Structure 1
């Protein structure tokens, strides 16, 4: 158990600008993202009667984003002051955050798979049926919960290296820290590889079709995917640097990687705040032009 008195004036002064920058980004994410995701969820719930799997998947993504953003006031307070919410809250909130972040990652990956199957293999996709689609959505939440199961085990409330009392990852050894960083890099890389593969196959299969280039739903999905991975890459780079720093036992590089990791984590939250605006602009345009029809059926009718 670490002591409550964590003050370290020298290191505190060095880290404070980074913490203030992170808290400013998180505040912006909360103010924009929470009402944005709530409004998008209301919009999507009203349209679920269309039985469009893309809309259901977007609803799941919006739920993940909202749950990711709701605890932000606690993290903002901690960055500016200290962690005062206790040991149990540290573990529970950390687990929910990781759970929802992994759920978002799996959702955008499944979006690319769904676009590919529904456009190029509509008969196979149709065999999945309503129950199969609901099973996929449920499977995303279950799998992401399993993938995030390490988060509460490693989380501890105590003093970090900058003099803050914080809810942070505590590793029992250097090997565990390296393994965790590489695990997170691997998950991101696998999802990114699958996403690129399915979108490449999709564009290759329909690159001469004017319908694909004009389909607003597909454009929306593409924007969500690109935005997510643009904001996700810095965290992956930070994890890779952390693994290298630990292996090389380079303390200065470890400190730098840790600070970069805190900023890049704030960018992940920014992605959860940006997504609602992507939904809103595209869905309103679609709504003005009428009800969204089933994508695969439209493709079949256009051929």
Structure 2
């Protein structure tokens, strides 16, 4: 993911840059107030101690962390990166940290919903301390996963006379290894888990005439499906980059690099869509948080 590429004002902006900056601007305008509203709403409903709304609160925090630095990235897309090396590394780390935490939150949502609905006795054994450990583990693990961005991000004056805040690789081997790491941690591992647990959950729930928590299950399903929809293009683009680098195919590499900003911008759309999903399902969240639904 190459957040923070820039274009000199004297150079015509490419269509990809204009599309990406427009999408990011819309995400900031809609997503920041939306996620703040979700934080306020969920914070007031967490007295019942329910774990699903707490995971959604954690997801809203990670979404907000992703969206707040967007004005800097938009400026960097349209102009040079003028904010220095320290902020380049810091905001790059924040973005990667929040993106990894979003992946882990959504993955845990699917696993937790499956266990809580179909194996409630097992879930009941995880007390409040264990639930706190799961949430804390998400943030610690995602922070560790994002550490490589602190090493790789640099501000460089390139041959075209533009300043870039972006990943700097020693060679193609390092670049392929980084792309493989991101693809494995953000796609290869979590999405098969999502599919497996939701197929199992859907089949079991469909066969149960006494299941009484359809609203919350639909909400979690919408959240996961939306996450998949807006992230899959980024991983397809990363796979194309890996193939192009391994095959040394310059045409495919240029094509994949041209779509990198757009694919990355789509991941930000997911962060601003979630509050609207929650708004349509506010009753289910309130019932789950206050304990009026059994599962």
Q: TM-score, normalised by structure 1?
A: 0.89
Q: 1:118 aligns with which of 96, 116, 120?
A: 116
Instruction: Establish whether residue 109 from structure 1 lines up as the match of residue 110 from structure 2.
Output: no
Counterpart of 2:271 in structure 1 is 272
Which residue of 141, 144, 149 maps to 1:143? 141
SS in 2 for 1:234: helix
- The change in CA–CA distance for 1:67 and 1:286 in structure 2 (over 3 A counts) is closer
Return the structure number with greater helix share: 1
Matching residue within 37, 42, 45 for 2:43: 45
CA contact (8 A) 1:220 1:282 kept: yes
8 Å Cα contact 1:8/1:162 also seen in 2:
no
Paired residues for 1:199-278 under 5 Å: 199-210=198-209, 212=211, 215-278=214-277
Distance in 2 (alpha carbons) for counterparts of 1:26 and 1:261: 14
Cα 1:262–1:213 change in 2 (3 A) is: farther
3-state DSSP class of the match of 2:156?
A: strand
TM-score normalised to structure 2 length: 0.92
Is contact 1:159–1:166 with CA below 8 Å preserved after alignment?
A: yes
Q: Which of 55, 58, 65 is the aligned partner of 1:57?
A: 55
Indicate how the Cα distance of structure 1 residues 164 and 20 shifts in structure 2: closer, same or farther if over 3 A, else same: farther
Residue 84 of structure 1 aligns with which residue?
82
Distance 1:228 1:145, change over 3 A: same
Tell me what 2:4 maps to: none
> Where do 5+ consecutive residues of structure 1 fail to align?
1-5
Identify if the C-alpha distance between structure 1 residues 286 and 198 changes in structure 2 by more than 3 Å, giving closer, same or farther: closer
Count of residues in Structure 1 that have an aligned counterpart in Structure 2: 288
SS of equivalent to 2:97: helix
Other-structure match for 1:32: 30
How far apart in 1 are the matches of 2:251 and 2:139?
Answer: 38
Equivalent position SS for 2:224 = helix
C-alpha distance in 2, partners of 1:291/1:84?
45
**How many angstroms apart in 1 are the aligned matches of 2:102 and 2:272?**
12
- Once the two structures are superposed, residues 180-214 of structure 1 have per-residue CA deviations (whole angstroms, 9 ceiling, x without a partner) of 11111111121001111111221232321245486
Stretches of structure 2 lacking an aligned partner (at least 5 in a row): 1-6
Match of 1:3 in 2: none
Secondary structure of the corresponding residue to residue 166 of structure 1: strand
SS in 1 for 2:165: strand
Deviations 1:50-105 (A, max 9, x none): 11100100000000000000000000111111101001110110011000000000
Matched-pair contact (CA < 8 Å) for 1:8–1:163? no
Query: Within 2, Cα distance between the matches of 1:213 and 1:233?
Result: 32
Give distance in 2, aligned partners of 1:213 and 1:87: 53
SS at match of 2:14: helix
Alignment RMSD, CA only? 2.1
Three-state SS of the structure 2 residue aligned to 1:128 is coil
Query: Aligned to 1:156, what secondary structure does the other structure show?
Result: strand
